[in-house]
A and B are shown apart, each in its own frame.
Chain A
Amino acid sequence: MTLKMEIKEVSKIFGPHPKKTLRLVKEGKSKEEILKKTGHTVGVERVSLDIQEGEMFVIMGLSGSGKSTLIRCLNLLNRPTSGSILVDGEDITTYDRHKLKKYRQKKIAMVFQHFGLFDHRTIIENVSYGLEVRKVPLKKRMEIAQSSLETVGLKGWEDKYPNELSGGMQQRVGLARALANDPDILLMDEPFSALDPLIRREMQLELIDLQNKLQKTVIFITHDVNEAFKIGDRVAVMKDGKVEQVGTPEAILENPANDYIEAFVKDIDRSKIIQAEGVMIKPNALVRLKDGLNVAIKEMKSNGLSSVYVVDKEMRLKGLVTIDDALEAKTAGRSLESIMTDNFEIAAPDDYMQDLIDKAIQTKYPIAIVREEKLVGLVPRAIVLSSLASQ
């Protein structure tokens, strides 16, 4: 892992005399005190963060906690009042106008909460905007914009205008526009907050997919704990302009640094964060296809099971047999294969518990967890239900 961005002691104060007010911050005065005394708002207070290359770094916090202020410092839409921001070892806060332009054109792109699209331009003209600013020749930029649109699944919409698209599609355009510039770093300020829940979920999954493919350094802002923990490799929790805790979702869930964070993660919906992989068990018993009926009955009886999954020698899932069917078939002299059913539910290891709930209700057998056709584990119904309840 290499360090991509180093945020060092960055503060941002809004008001006519930010530098003067900074002294009060250093003296340890609180945000409210400073606002009352001087009328200045402390947006971000001495934040330090290290962001690794290729990481999905989420900044989470309630409204007004300074998330936007911080992320806007990273491309200098806000000039930090103090502190430095090192990108690939260079301090961007010292950049002059020309270097800043180059930095924004080449290294970093942003996706906005309300999309920030240009209404007067078609979709493809929106997506190619960054390239146009860089004076890439027309033909070349249309090619790049086209492939960027395809990446986000908007092929065929090139010549429409933004207001002809749904919210979800507009944000895809916002994403395609940012990606077309091929930036190292992608800033996303609550990109999915304006979308309805179903679309939002879909976009989250797509972003995760895309991130696996492109391996950008993504800095993602959200006020939604569930979203943060679902997509973040690491999460920073902000409060009143300060970072309260940084860590992987699991680490924060296990060890909340203080009461504030504990309260924050308490109402987290675990079903949206925990994946099947995290709760599945190794099958107690398995039957090979060539083992035959008698082995199957013996396995079930000795383990006290009412059913067992059948696999081939590469562990590929073939079917399920129940104890009742097996006993009946034995008296009738039928084979194991003839009584195998596919009357069971399967899921992938990275499916969320939320998706397993319906399946658990549908079936009376454990849910088979399958990766590339191979059986890797089981999630009994009871586990699905208890994982939702447990804190």
Chain B
Amino acid sequence: MFDFPTGLTFHVGNYVSDLVDWLTVHWKTFFDGISNGLLWVFSHFNDFLIWMPWWFFVLVIFLLACQFKSVSSGILFAIFLILIGIFGYWDEMMYTLCLVISSVVISLIIGIPLGIFMAYSKRFEMIAKPILDGMQTMPTFVYLIPALFFFGLGLIPGVLSTIIYALPPVMRLTNLAIRGVPEEVVEASLSFGSSRWQLLTKVQIPQAMPTIMAGINQTTMMALAMVVVASMVGVKGLGLEVLTALGQIDVAKGFEAGISIVFLAIIIDRITLAISNTFQKK
């Protein structure tokens, strides 16, 4: 009486499974192409990061911070990095960073043009907006599920779901920023006989840049969050260290790996914010 009737069952999972099977068979070359392309970019970039002497990387971050923020934050960030190294997570950090940077770059390559297209097309905006809104309310690990279907466990589903998860902010803010350029300014540009391309590149994008930069910052932070979560599907890096520490109830290791993530997050956030602020000043 109080239990849910056991006779009332119906499984949709089988159909989805069939569909996925069909797709993976018939679209094999497509998925393999994506997979191989991503792997190539990723492994070369990671090799480069690991090949870099550790002090050189610390120096680069220090100089970036000095340039865009202040000497004191430069020193602070350098200490953070050295601490991560002392904890023994240098390579893991580089791996995570590599994932974040490559996902962000790909997100921007896709997201900015889509955002611009959204600003130009009312219809596309109407379709895209609710989807973007929905994406933002979903829990992060939900993003892993479709990627898992097509690519199994490992790096590629992690990167793909990171790209998709990090896409909305930059797309949304690019759209907003382009639409936010005052009508009169756009008309001024047109009144001098600008082509669409000139209007976009000489006026709309530069005017939208501060807001787009804010979007890039948000996208980067979301990518970092997702890369950590992606350790659940077997992506290596700092996230996996936390996960294994949790599994072994190893508080000391968990703390060190966790604080390393926090350090990395602070460094990435502050530097991208500071860079985006330089666009705001004018």
Contacts and interface: CB of A to CB of B under 8 A. Distances in A.
Partners in one complex: yes
Interface of A: 72, 75, 77, 100-106, 108-110, 112-121, 129-130, 132-134, 161, 177, 181, 187
Interface string B180-201: 0010110111111111001000
Contacts of A75: 191
A120 B188 contact: no
A116 B203 CA distance: 11
A104 B184 contact: no
A266 B133 CA distance: 57
Contact of A101 (B188, B195, B206): B195
A133 B192 contact: yes
A120 B193 contact: no
Contacts of B282: 119-120, 161
B73 interface: no
B209 interface: yes
B189 to A, nearest CB: 7
B189 A117 contact: no
B190 A114 contact: no
Which 10 pairs, one residue from A and one from B, show the smallest C-beta to C-beta distance?
Answer: A104-B193, A116-B188, A105-B193, A130-B192, A116-B184, A110-B191, A120-B206, A101-B193, A133-B194, A112-B184
Contacts of B198: 133
Contacts of A104: 190-193
Given A113-B184, A118-B189, 13 more contacts: A101-B193, A101-B194, A103-B193, A104-B192, A110-B188, A114-B184, A117-B188, A129-B192, A130-B193, A133-B192, A133-B198, A133-B202, A177-B188
Interface string B209-227: 1000000000000000000
B207 A112 contact: no
A174 to B, nearest CB: 8
A105 B202 CA distance: 16
Nearest to B194: A133
A190 B20 CA distance: 62
B280 to A, nearest CB: 11
B132 to A, nearest CB: 27
27 contacts: A77-B190, A100-B193, A102-B193, A104-B190, A104-B191, A104-B193, A105-B192, A105-B193, A106-B193, A112-B184, A112-B187, A113-B184, A114-B184, A116-B182, A116-B184, A116-B187, A117-B188, A118-B206, A118-B207, A119-B282, A120-B207, A132-B202, A133-B195, A134-B193, A161-B282, A181-B192, A187-B191
Contacts of A101: 193-195
B183 to A, nearest CB: 9
A162 B79 CA distance: 42
A154 B189 CA distance: 22
A130 B198 CA distance: 11
A115 B239 CA distance: 52
A346 to B, nearest CB: 43
Contacts of A187: 191
Nearest to A97: B195
Contacts of B206: 118, 120-121
Contact of A119 (B187, B190, B194, B207): B207
A92 to B, nearest CB: 13
Contacts of B185: 116-118
Contacts of A112: 184, 187-188
Nearest to A183: B192
Contact of A77 (B187, B195, B203, B209): B187
B193 A129 contact: no
B200 to A, nearest CB: 13
A109 B184 contact: no
A132 B185 CA distance: 16
A101 B207 CA distance: 22
Interface in B148-206: 182, 184-185, 187-195, 198, 202-203, 206
A110 B190 CA distance: 10
